Amino acid sequence: MIQSLLFFVLAALCEIGGGYLFWLWLREGKSSWLAVMGVIILAIYGVVPTLQPANFGRAYAAYGGIFIVSSILWGWFVDRVAPDRYDWLGGWLALLGVLVMMYAPRS
């Protein structure tokens, strides 16, 4: 379970980080090298979820919850936009969904 959660976090960092670098280039006029690095990191993101032990649909559905929480944290630490209580509530609900989908015992 820990390894699986680490893969989810790595995927989120790659997706959000790669997208952010591309954003900086396209929206804020930064160096085109940021876009190139962003695309490479996004390609790595495409590989990381394949390391999950679950099937494609379940892994990507559960990853959505990790992405939500990671995006809230990215916004807080990188963009300096503090989450409010509804952001936190929604993030916790999404994370609960991840735990149920991925790690609940099945027969």
Ranges of each domain in the chain? 2-103
50 DSSP assignment? G
AA identity, residue 106: R
> What pLDDT was estimated at residue 95?
94
Q: Which residues of 85-97 are buried (b: 16+ CB within 10 A; e: fewer)?
A: eebeebbeebeee
Residue with tokens 């919850």: 65
Q: Does residue 45 contact residue 11 with C-beta atoms inside 8 Å? A: yes
> What pLDDT was estimated at residue 44?
96
Six-digit token string for 5: 């959660």
Average pLDDT value for residue range 79-106: 94
> What pLDDT was estimated at residue 97?
93
CA separation for the pair 55, 41 (Å, rounded): 23
Average pLDDT value for residue range 47-59: 88
What count of other Cβ atoms lies within 10 Å of the Cβ of residue 74? Answer: 18
Reported as a pLDDT band with limits 50, 70 and 90, residue 107 is confident
Nearest partner of 45 among 5, 78, 12, 3, judged by Cα: 12
Q: What is the mean pLDDT of the chain?
A: 93
Six-digit token string for 73: 């944290």
pTM: 0.84
> What pLDDT was estimated at residue 106?
87
